[in-house]
Amino acid sequence: MRAGIFIGFMIGVWAEFYAQAPFIHIYGGTTNNPLYGAHVIITQPDGKKIYSITNVNGETKNPLASGWAIVHIAHLGYQSHTDTIVEGQSIQFILQEDPVSLSGFVVTSHAVPTRIEESVFKIRVITQQQIQAQGAMNLRDLLTQQINIRITQDAALGSGIRMQGIGGENVKIMIDGVPVIGRLDGNIDLSQIILNNIERIEIIDGPSSVNYGTNALAGVINLITKKNANHMVEGNLNGYYESVGQYNLDGRMGFQFGKNNIQLSGGRYFFDGFTTADTIKRYLQWKPKEQYFSEIQYNRGIGKLNIRYAGNFFHELLESKGIPEAPFYITATDQYFRTIRTQQSFFLTGFFKKNHHIDITASYNYYHRRRQSFRKDLVSLEKNMFDENIDIFQTWMSRGIYNYRKEGSRIAILAGYETTTETAEGPRIANQFQWVTDMALFGSIDIIPIKNLVIKPGIRYGYNSRFLMPVIPSIHIKYTPLKGMDIRATYSRGFRAPSLKELFFEFVDANHNVHGNPMLRAEHANHAGLSIGYEGRKNNLDFAFSTSGFYNQINDQIRSVAVAITPDSNVYRNENITHFQSTGVQLQGEVGYKNFKAGISFAYTGILNGIYDNAEGENNFVFYPEIQGQTSYHFAKWGGTITTLVKYNGKQPVLFTQYDSELKKDIIKEGFIDGFAILDISYVQSFLKKRLQIGLYGKNLLNVTNIQQTSGISSGSAHASGSSSLPTQWGATVAVSVKYNFIIHH
């Protein structure tokens, strides 16, 4: 009892002190919203600097005990501001929006928000303004225009990804640092990752295995959600229509009372389906689907710490209707794919003591996919289910990161832990249930031996319940020889343990004969990268230029290989191939003048697939180009922005093996995937002091639909060559979006 009284007394004293302390208040210039996460640097006359970050109310304490100081304030998407403050002063600053800013903050691999130009990692950021300008509803729509990223499409499995020439099984996709689960054929379906509550996206190319462990050999894509309401009540309602047959509606409500912050969001997206094939219309290449989703977030500030709960739910129903079957064409086989995802996460972040920052996450993920097959009578419309499969995956994950960084010190420390337990169950999993546990400790040190040089060695060591996990080292170097120029070099090892699906999945029916392989070995990788960038500002002209190169080597890469070819079906099994390599260069340039911004990027990527060592022929690198360009102009006078995006995906050679019946051996052959270009144009107009926003979009205006592929199986497995048409886009479309924002002030 006495302890409770004492604790209550101390909380009351702390609250009273906190209420009376002088504060610096930061607001956004257009809506006067408090800005959470603004960086405040106070420089005193003796040169000593004090760093802080604003809380959910846009506040940070004025720490001056005497005298005066210079304060510098920066926030993503706003112009920086410098002013003077004095002791005991409570003061507010209003930051103006900066639509063509070339810099911002990142948290991926840092935990503490860090300016892009100060990060030792080369990170690209996609802002919420870019998401809106592109009219992107999901991650597939958005990444279609990104350089060095290629999107693949499957009728039933959805959208996949390749980064730096490496497949999606090695791309780690996260939401606020929590991995998304539910891979199909190695890929997360990008069309199931909705962007209605996403603030920005951070992408790291190349292995991030030290900080994020397995599945991060090709890179990391981290989606950062909107976390705070800035008024007593605020929200928005969004409608979207696209001429291909998309009808989307979503909304968000936010509530702020005291130090408490609650957000609710949800919506329904519907797609009619689409086909370019000259066939009966019940069979569609792009399958109809309906998606429902919702999310709740609760935030509360406790001093300089913030606790947050986030829970979300996603449901999708995809319909795959079959072609009427011979001889009478009165029956067809229809399949329905139902996906359910839920994620429950808890976060604790902030400074528990000066210079000491923590970021702790605990989450539970659930993924459920059900496939039901029906025989449908097209006359009576009766249907009878003859087959059903259910796959369930669950993951429990916790990660904690501690940062120590003292102003003026030549050393900064990051240390962390991660533990993950994953289960898989269902009739297509061996013994109908399997599990794996992964635990690791990791850390890195920022060493500044001389001014403008940062050396960041890192290491990860852990335990996997099924595979021996090696020590995973990395080293990142950042050198700033002159103002605005950064040189970054990196070397890192990578590790990927085979997934439960790759180990134990068994799928045999009339059309499939796919087997996992419990004897698989883990993948091991090496990555090296070098980049040089320069950015500056002169006479209202912002500019940034960069060049970079990379090399990846993956040993024992896991691929699905055809191990037997029969008249009825081919038998596939997951196998370790000898090696895989990718290499490439990238050039980028960006300029901004007042309200105009333009950029162009070029990438040239080469892939060397591991192919059977005894195959006859040369196994060489095959290269393909990509070019991406964009322009935007913001009409400040009337609040409109016009954006043009274009990307050319060059013709891609593919090496594969084909069995030669005369030579009695496999021979290496070369096929190709045709090149294509995507052109999008948008105009977004704001009304009623940005309360109402209307977007007009012309998408895929070059009318790309299917592209031609001439090859065998591109993984290097034995299979007869041939030609096929790959669904890539659904042709030229027009779209309109309407967004209304509402606010109830205190």
Of 95, 116, 134, the one marking the end of a domain is 95
Q: What is the mean pLDDT of residues 456-467?
A: 94
Q: Within this chain, do residues 211 and 227 fall inside the same structural domain, yes or no?
A: no
**How confident is residue 598, by pLDDT bands cut at 50, 70 and 90?**
very high
Q: Point out the least confidently predicted range of 99-108, 228-237, 502-511.
A: 99-108
Q: Point out the least confidently predicted range of 246-250, 416-420, 705-709.
A: 705-709
Structure tokens at 351: 């400074």
Q: Which CATH number is 116's domain given?
A: 2.170.130.10
Domain-embedded: residue 83: yes
Nearest to 144 by CA among 732, 737, 652, 700: 700
Residue 702 has pLDDT above 90, yes or no: yes
DSSP state of 191: G
Q: Within this chain, do residues 91 and 150 fall inside the same structural domain, yes or no?
A: no
Residue 345: CA count within 13 A, CB half-sphere:
28
Residue 611 has pLDDT above 80, yes or no: no
**In terms of DSSP bridges, do strands 49-53 and 722-727 run parallel, antiparallel, or are they unpaired?**
unpaired
β strands within 410-484, DSSP E: 411-425, 433-447, 453-464, 472-479
Q: Within this chain, do residues 74 and 120 fall inside the same structural domain, yes or no?
A: no
Non-local (6+) Cβ contacts of 479 within 8 A are: 452, 453, 454, 486, 487, 488
Q: Which CATH number is 281's domain given?
A: 2.40.170.20
H and E: helices and strands count for the chain: 5, 47
**How confident is residue 29, by pLDDT bands cut at 50, 70 and 90?**
low
**260 vs 258: CA distance, rounded Å:** 5
**658 vs 712: CA distance, rounded Å:** 7
Domain with 236, as residue range(s), is 222-744
User: Quick one: pLDDT at residue 36?
Assistant: 72
Domain-embedded: residue 590: yes
**How confident is residue 568, by pLDDT bands cut at 50, 70 and 90?**
low
How many domains is the chain partitioned into structurally?
A: 3
**How confident is residue 244, by pLDDT bands cut at 50, 70 and 90?**
very high
**315 vs 290: CA distance, rounded Å:** 8
User: Quick one: pLDDT at residue 97?
Assistant: 62
**599 vs 348: CA distance, rounded Å:** 38
User: Quick one: pLDDT at residue 208?
Assistant: 86
**How confident is residue 17, by pLDDT bands cut at 50, 70 and 90?**
very low
Q: Within this chain, do residues 661 and 674 fall inside the same structural domain, yes or no?
A: yes
Q: Within this chain, do residues 193 and 111 fall inside the same structural domain, yes or no?
A: yes
User: Quick one: pLDDT at residue 715?
Assistant: 36
Prior bond of 327 cis (ω within 30°): yes
**How confident is residue 289, by pLDDT bands cut at 50, 70 and 90?**
very high
Domain-embedded: residue 100: no
**130 vs 599: CA distance, rounded Å:** 13
What is the percent of the chain with per-residue pLDDT over 90, rounded to a whole number?
51
What is the percent of the chain with per-residue pLDDT over 70, rounded to a whole number?
88
Q: Within this chain, do residues 199 and 257 fall inside the same structural domain, yes or no?
A: no
Q: Within this chain, do residues 405 and 539 fall inside the same structural domain, yes or no?
A: yes
Residue 543 has pLDDT above 70, yes or no: yes
Of 95, 124, 153, the one marking the end of a domain is 95
User: Quick one: pLDDT at residue 646?
Assistant: 97
Q: Point out the least confidently predicted range of 79-93, 231-245, 472-486.
A: 79-93
pTM: 0.85
Domain-embedded: residue 8: yes
Residues comprising the chain, all counted = 746
Residue 529 has pLDDT above 90, yes or no: yes
Residue of 425 and 16 predicted with greater confidence: 425
Non-local (6+) Cβ contacts of 562 within 8 A are: 570, 571, 572, 713, 717, 718, 719
DSSP 3-state assignment of 140?
helix
- Residue-averaged pLDDT of the chain: 86
Q: Within this chain, do residues 677 and 620 fall inside the same structural domain, yes or no?
A: yes
**231 vs 229: CA distance, rounded Å:** 6
Q: Point out the least confidently predicted range of 128-137, 378-387, 453-462, 575-584.
A: 575-584
Domain-embedded: residue 150: yes
Domain-embedded: residue 342: yes
| C-alpha distance from residue 227 to each of 35, 38, 190, 257, 328 (Å) | 11, 14, 22, 15, 57
Q: Within this chain, do residues 358 and 332 fall inside the same structural domain, yes or no?
A: yes
Q: Within this chain, do residues 354 and 482 fall inside the same structural domain, yes or no?
A: yes
User: Quick one: pLDDT at residue 680?
Assistant: 97
Domain-embedded: residue 228: yes
User: Quick one: pLDDT at residue 714?
Assistant: 38
Q: Within this chain, do residues 229 and 377 fall inside the same structural domain, yes or no?
A: yes
User: Quick one: pLDDT at residue 566?
Assistant: 59
Q: Within this chain, do residues 208 and 339 fall inside the same structural domain, yes or no?
A: no
User: Quick one: pLDDT at residue 559?
Assistant: 80
**36 vs 60: CA distance, rounded Å:** 10
Q: Which CATH number is 70's domain given?
A: 2.60.40.10
| C-alpha distance from residue 125 to each of 108, 190, 373, 548 (Å) | 10, 18, 42, 17
User: Quick one: pLDDT at residue 448?
Assistant: 94
pLDDT tens across 139-190, in order?
999 999 999 999 988 777 788 899 998 888 899 999 999 999 998 878 899 9
Whether the CB-CB separation of 573 and 563 falls below 8 Å is answered with: yes
Of 186, 221, 256, the one marking the end of a domain is 221
Specify the DSSP element, H or E, that contains 141.
helix 139-143
**393 vs 434: CA distance, rounded Å:** 10
User: Quick one: pLDDT at residue 746?
Assistant: 58
